[in-house]
Structure 1
Amino acid sequence: MITNGRGYMKTNWERHNPIIEIPVEAIQSIIRSYSSYHTVQNVTLLSGGLSHTNYKVKLEGDFVVVRVTGNYESLLKEETLHATLPGKVRSPRFLHLTKWSGYGVGILEWKKGSLLYQHLTDSSPNNMTRMGKSIGQQLAAIRELTFDAFGFLDTNLTVAEEFRLTPENFISTIESFFTTGYASKWLPNDVIDQIHRFTRENAHLFKEDESGPKLVHGDFNGLNLLMNGSDVSAVLDWEFALSGSIYFDIGNMLRYQYSHMSSFESGLITGLSEGGITLSENWRKLAKLADLVSLCSLLNQKVCGENRVQDIQRLINITLNDSWK
């Protein structure tokens, strides 16, 4: 059961980009660019994913994922990252990168499991704790990859644009979404005013963020974590990875609230601790603040679907009104 009026994860959100339809014959050609010995037996469009298009492709005795996007460089970054991830991070192997009809195409290992969000609505407290612990262990493993600076990564995993959540940058970043960006198009003025007051009142908390310039998944939530029982079997979809604060990923993970979340959070903290990570005493607040940046950035679009806007506004209101309990 979902509590406190919170909704299901990204329910009915409109896609960033339309689905890219590829004929079976073209998928066969793509597969043969990877291996001439394989024949495509079946192709299934995978649900989920609001940016890239993913197909499950059955080969003889095996499956792969064919991942398609108009942004070739994002796949190139993913390929580099998959080859660089710490060994403890459970992620599918990136097998091949090519192009088709102007699109970037990646072929990735198929991993068995079910997505985390499918388990969050009806799991027992004990299972929520176990899942949280496994996720905390994976997040700690992700944080083993360190960079020289904070910011957005290029295809070589070099920081191409520096960005760090300091108190000053937190305020200026939020303000920029509404003054020079498009976010003001999607929210009422009274909510925007409340966001500005809220950021100024709480920005000082980022002085406590000592998490360092380390790997951030950037979309770390129940839609991108594959589970085998209560254990993480794979962390998926790394196109938004950056160097930054751990509180981005924690905030994203805890954005939606379900029954027994205290058990889940307890397991998460245990898994992080076992991986050598100690959070600030105000970790929940920092996670909410970091996620407010993410939520506002999602509204910083010329075109933003109605369902997406409604859910993001609801999530922002939750942050503004009851995140400090």
Structure 2
Amino acid sequence: MLPEEIHDIAAALGREVVAARTLAGGFSHETCLLTLAEGPPVVARLGGPDPAVEAAVMATARRYAPVPHVLLVLPATGGGRPAMVLEHVPGTLLSHVLAEDGAGLGALGSEVGRVVAGIGAATFDRPGFFSGQNLTVRPERPWSKQLPEMAETCMAATPPSRLAPATREGWVELCAAHAPALVSVDDHARLVHADINPKNLLVTLARDGWRVDAVLDWEFSYVGCPYGDAANMLRFGADYPPAFLDGFRTAFAEHQPDDLPVAEDWAYLGRVLDMFALSDLVTRPVGHPVADQAAEQIRQWVARGVPD
């Protein structure tokens, strides 16, 4: 974080910043914990596509899930990057808890599944992507029509060393084969976080059990089918304790909004929706660790001939 960025944020807050420490963050932004001369610390996120829209999404999502308060948004700082300043929420990253493989992870999975399902209770008038701080939703072609085309475009843009030509061709064919299944969810118009994973949830083991303290990083959110969020959480599930996965799956299905009965094949539909994200992820530059994980997932699915 640059000194001029700290200066601009301090001026906007009207409080002196006495220390800044980098936190774990996403690949599209830098996240820092700022200690203030007065009052509790705050979190600054610098960069990202459009923090003003993200802040508006977070304000809406707070009615359905634990989401940090946004304190201010700066369109640009002295360093040229936009900034969002959030309240600091104590808690432990879910990724750290799962790495320890301790007791009670079935209950933790249940709590995470309940919270993720709750995000889908937020409804909009149509599926699509947000435009502007008033959260207008741009109309989109049905996901079932978009998937084959996106897969082909992304495979052409993937670094040559990441996926073999035969795998790329197989992935495009696999996406085209399963895209028609999305017809059943093309008209879902629910809030989708679109980056639900253990690095974006803060949790605490309280006296009465596990609690999700905050759902972080809403920059990729859109309006569509909530099954995609479940698939996002389960994408690299082979790395997570089985008890957590079982608890998550059961609770996500049980806590779907009352006006959205869960489809019997919700897990499969979620995986098909996740083909969008996997296709996009592998276009990242060489050395991107999550992109390499996504490439391995694609190889496995192509080898088996199913998104499983």
How far 1:315 moved relative to its partner? 1.7
Partners of 1:51 and 1:184 lie apart in 2 by 19
Q: Measured at CA, do residues 42 and 118 of structure 1 come closer, stay the same or move farther in structure 2, by a change above 3 Å?
A: same
With over 3 angstroms needed to count, the CA separation of the structure-2 counterparts of 1:264 and 1:87, relative to structure 1, is: same
Q: Retained in 2: the 8 A contact 1:68–1:105?
A: yes
For 1:239, give the aligned amino acid.
E
Match of 1:14 in 2: none
When residues 175 and 40 of structure 1 are mapped into structure 2, their CA distance, relative to the original with a 3 A threshold, is same
| 1:246-265 paired onto structure 2 within 5 Å | 246-256=226-236, 257-261=238-242, 263-265=244-246
Measured against aligned partners, the alpha-carbon deviations of 1:154-194 in whole angstroms (never above 9, x if no partner) come to 1231123515322x33223222323xx51374421110122
Which residues in structure 2 correspond to 1:261-300 (within 5 Å)? 261=242, 263-276=244-257, 278-300=261-283
SS of 2:21's partner is: strand
1:232 paired with 2:219, answer no
CA distance in 2, matches of 1:206, 1:70: 29
Asked whether the 8 Å contact 1:164–1:244 carries over to 2, the reply is: no
Range moving further from structure 2, 199-208 or 81-90: 199-208
Partner of 1:196: 172
Give the C-alpha shift of residue 287 in structure 1.
2.0
**Equivalent residues of 1:130, 1:231 under 8 A apart:** no
1:130 correspondence with 2:107: yes
* Alpha-carbon spacing, 1:152–1:300, altered in 2? closer, same or farther (3 Å): farther
Measure the CA separation in 2 of the matches of 1:267 and 1:195. Answer: 28
Check conservation: 2:148, 2:179, Cα contact below 8 A: yes
Q: Sequence identity, in percent?
A: 26
**Structure 1 Cα separation of the partners of residues 138 and 109 of structure 2:** 33
Q: Does 1:177 align with 2:154?
A: yes
Cα RMSD, aligned residues only: 2.5
The answer on whether the counterparts of 1:88 and 1:141 sit within 8 Å (CA) in structure 2 is: yes
CA 1:56 to 1:184, structure 2 compared with 1: closer, same or farther past 3 Å?
A: closer
- Summarize the alignment of residues 43-82 of structure 1 with structure 2, pairs less than 5 Å apart: 43-59=20-36, 60-69=38-47, 71=49, 74-82=50-58
Cα–Cα, structure 1 residues 263 and 47, in superposed 2: closer, same or farther, change >3 Å?
closer
Partner AA of 1:218 in structure 2: A
> Which structure 1 residue ranges, 5 or more long, are not aligned?
1-20
State the partner residue of 1:40. Answer: 17
Distance in 1 separating the partners of 2:8 and 2:179: 52
The residue number in structure 2 matching 1:3 is none
Query: Which position in structure 2 is the counterpart of 1:31?
Result: 10
Trace 1:203-242 onto structure 2 (pairs within 5 A): 203-209=179-185, 212-229=188-205, 230-242=210-222
Query: Which amino acid is the alignment partner of residue 9 of structure 2?
Result: I
Cα displacement (A) at 1:275? 4.4
- Report the CA distance between 1:211 and its aligned residue: 7.4
Q: What CA deviation, in whole Å up to 9, does each residue of 1:66-93 have, x standing for no partner? A: 111164xx10101211222252310100
> Alpha carbons of 1:284 and 1:272: their partners in 2 closer, same or farther (altered >3 Å)?
closer
Partner residue, 1:11: none
Counterpart position of 1:88: 64
Q: Is the 8 A contact 2:48 2:219 kept in 1?
A: no
Q: Given the alignment, which residue of 102, 106, 113 partners 2:91?
A: 113
Q: Distance in 2 between matches of 1:200 and 1:88?
A: 34
- In structure 2, distance between residues paired with 1:50 and 1:317: 23
TM (normalized to structure 2)? 0.85
Post-superposition Cα deviations, 1:253-284, rounded to whole Å, max 9, x if no partner, equal: 00112354355233443244234354322222
Aligned residues: 295
